[in-house]
Structure 1
Amino acid sequence: MSAIAELLQQLDNFADLIGVAIESGDWDGLNDLLVNRQEVLLTLSTLALSDQERELAVRTMASIQSTDRQFLVIVQSQKETLQKQVASLAHDRKAVQAYQSE
């Protein structure tokens, strides 16, 4: 397998790993994966590609963009849920403090 094919395969593999990190709420792991994926993308961008490799790279990057849009929807939903939980906890904490001060 060529170096370019290996890099493209690595990029494909990141989607599954990123999905798992999002589902499990592993935000530090997600950050690490995104940094690593960016490094692979930068490496790929420095290589001379044949027409066939360029076509495959373009398809891979289009797939990444599509998958990232889906991940963004999921992350936004989780963010909203967490914000609601934080607001609820803050409300409950104020209620407990008010009860204890009486």
Structure 2
Amino acid sequence: MTQNRGKQLMRQLELLKRLCNADGLSIDQLAESLGVTRRTVYRDLDLLTDLGVSLQKTGSGNSVFYSATPQAFQEVMDVTSDVTHHRDTKTDESKSQKERI
């Protein structure tokens, strides 16, 4: 399960990177370039929004395009780094406690 979660995270980061490097991409373009379904792209966009990532949405109907600023990517990388650091710190603390026992 952890390996699957890692793949999801990498895909979501790749999605955000693509949004930052384009003036606007459609759901179909994102799905095709990432090799996933449209539904997966929608889920990933929802997750990024839930994390506080500011995504721009332009157009309407069948012509909706998404983009993001480079700062959005950096913000997510900072959060990812903080989470990884917190996890590593907890792992180190757990190891120290086990060694004392």
TM-score when normalising by structure 1: 0.41
Bigger Rg over Cα: 1
| Larger relative contact order, structure 1 or 2 (CA cutoff 8 Å, min sep 6) | 1
TM-score when normalising by structure 2: 0.41
Return the structure number with greater strand share.
2
